[in-house]
């Protein structure tokens, strides 16, 4: 992993990603959970090429603010930058924007996992 690796993903606010649609509020504005998902996606995608076969990353911590609302039809995007690597722990600075400027920012942690081992552990919970 390379400190400084950056990621970026974007979407458009529509009826399916509003606060009203995901039950995090009652208004037709970009939902905070979707902003967080966009931030996580930017981080995950930014480091995917550095992973070995069979590895992935999972989000384990996020601390962000959602500072401005975004209306239906407006483009939004999230950017991430890898700022710390501690063995399997990855720390990112994340920010989200709409066409008018910054709408949220914070930090996000992910861990590198072995996909099969991780899924086996998760699926074992289902048989208990």
Residue ranges with strand state E in the chain: 6-12, 55-66, 75-86, 89-98, 101-114
**What is the spatial distance between Cα 106 and Cα 66, in angstroms, rounded to a whole number?**
9
66 in active site: yes
Pick the catalytic residue: 32, 57, 70, 79? 32
**What is the spatial distance between Cα 97 and Cα 68, in angstroms, rounded to a whole number?**
9
**What is the spatial distance between Cα 78 and Cα 17, in angstroms, rounded to a whole number?**
15
**What is the spatial distance between Cα 122 and Cα 102, in angstroms, rounded to a whole number?**
36
108 in active site: no
**What is the spatial distance between Cα 39 and Cα 105, in angstroms, rounded to a whole number?**
9
Pick the catalytic residue: 5, 66, 79, 109? 66
CB 31 within 8 A of CB 103: no
40 in active site: yes
Pick the catalytic residue: 40, 57, 70, 109? 40
Catalytic residue numbers, as ranges:
32, 40, 66
């Amino acid at each position: 992993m390379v400190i400084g690796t950056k990621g970026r993903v974007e979407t458009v606010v529509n009826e399916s990603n509003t606060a009203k649609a995901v039950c995090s509020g009652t208004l037709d504005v970009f939902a905070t959970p979707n902003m967080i998902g966009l931030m996580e996606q930017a981080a995950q995608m930014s480091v995917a090429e550095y992973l070995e076969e069979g590895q992935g990353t999972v989000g384990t911590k996020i601390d962000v603010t959602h500072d401005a609302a975004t209306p239906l039809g407006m483009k939004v995007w999230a950017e991430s930058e890898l700022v710390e690597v501690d063995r399997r722990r990855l720390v990112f600075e994340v920010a989200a924007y709409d066409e008018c400027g910054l709408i949220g920012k914070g930090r996000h942690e992910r861990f590198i996992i072995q996909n099969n081992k991780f899924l086996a552990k998760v699926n074992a919970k289902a048989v208990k």
